[in-house]
Amino acid sequence: MRTRWILAAGLLLPAVWIPALLAGGRDAVPAPGPSSAPADVAVEQEPSVPPTAVFAEVLGIPLHLPAPLPRLVAFHEASMEGAIPMLPFGSCRPCRHPRFRAPPAGGVDLRYAVMDPRGRGSAPTSAVDVVLGGGAPVLSPVSGRVRVVRPYRLYGRYADARVAIVPDGAQGLEVVLLHLRSGRLAPGDRVVAGVTSLGRVRSFPFRSQVDRYASGRRPHVHIEVVDARARDQAKDRRGAGG
């Protein structure tokens, strides 16, 4: 069969396309074939909202604020073995820890505190409490994969959740968050730094050390970056009586 060709809008098109084009139909353009992209490619694309600011880094990994406008960022000694010191960005006010020497602010318009010693012997910035408003969403500090979502009892009494994320390109590390309701997270979920919500911050009926630095008692999320191998080796030594 001979195909008739028609000149339309400066283009030479087969006559069979003209009715569909006039009707605004989409069938005139061949449908794309099945995509070979992975299922989570949409998460990898540029987010529609900008990520929160970077407040610290660990071993070159940037840590984003878990909320756009936190009430306070306060570093302290970690209790978890294997916790790695963070390098804070911004101005330290107040700096209460005698073993901490604040690095230059470097023009970063952020303010943080380094709290008094807790007698734990760990680095003064090996953990951080970020004070938020009540019930505020908690955003992921890093891009990566969720490894653990586990409920537990804080001090053996209070319901809490522990979330651990393996950052992109750092398989030996875990970013651990405490004091939140974990929402619908599950191991294997992909998260984007400063964008993906991990749940909401949880309040407790007691005062924390950070309350002495914030104005009034407010909920906070606790963040540590842990060398998982060092932590596991410490557990093995304790189990062996070392």
DSSP string, 10-26: TEEEEGGGHHHHHTT-S
What does the alpha-carbon distance between residue 76 and residue 78 come to, in Å, rounded to a whole number? 6
Integer Cα distance of 150 and 140 in angstroms: 16
Token pair listed for 87: 């390098």
- What are the structure tokens assigned to 195, written together? 């964008």
- Sign of torsion, CA 55 98 132 79? positive
d(CA 110, CA 56): 10
Tokens standing for residue 156: 């053996």
| pLDDT for 235 | 62
Average pLDDT in the chain: 82
Q: Where are the domains of the chain?
A: 48-239
> What residue type is assigned to position 87 of the chain?
L
CATH of 48-239, one of 3.40.50.970, 3.20.20.140, 2.70.70.10, 3.30.70.1880: 2.70.70.10
C-alpha 183/C-alpha 94 separation (Å) is 34
Q: Confirm whether pTM is higher than 0.85.
A: no
| CA-CA-CA-CA torsion sign (108, 50, 196, 42) | negative
- The DSSP code for 210 is G
The residues facing 167 across adjacent strands are 144
Residue 8, CA distances (Å) to 18, 20, 26, 101, 166 in order:
8, 13, 17, 73, 56
The pLDDT tens digits for 27-54 are 333 343 443 333 343 334 445 779 999 9
Q: Which two tokens stand for residue 153?
A: 């009892």
List beta partners, residue 58: 61
Q: Give me 206's structure tokens.
A: 């007691």
Of the CA atoms within 13 Å of residue 133, those in its CB half-sphere come to 5
What are φ and ψ of residue 169, in 5° steps?
Answer: 75, 15
If you ran DSSP here, which 8-state letter would residue 83 be given? Answer: B
Phi/psi at 161 (5° precision): -135, 145
Side chain identity at residue 220, one-letter code: H
Residues 121-154: pLDDT tens digits? 899 999 999 999 888 899 999 999 999 999 999 9
pLDDT digits (tens, 9 = 90+) for 73-122: 999 999 888 999 999 999 999 999 999 999 998 888 999 999 999 999 89
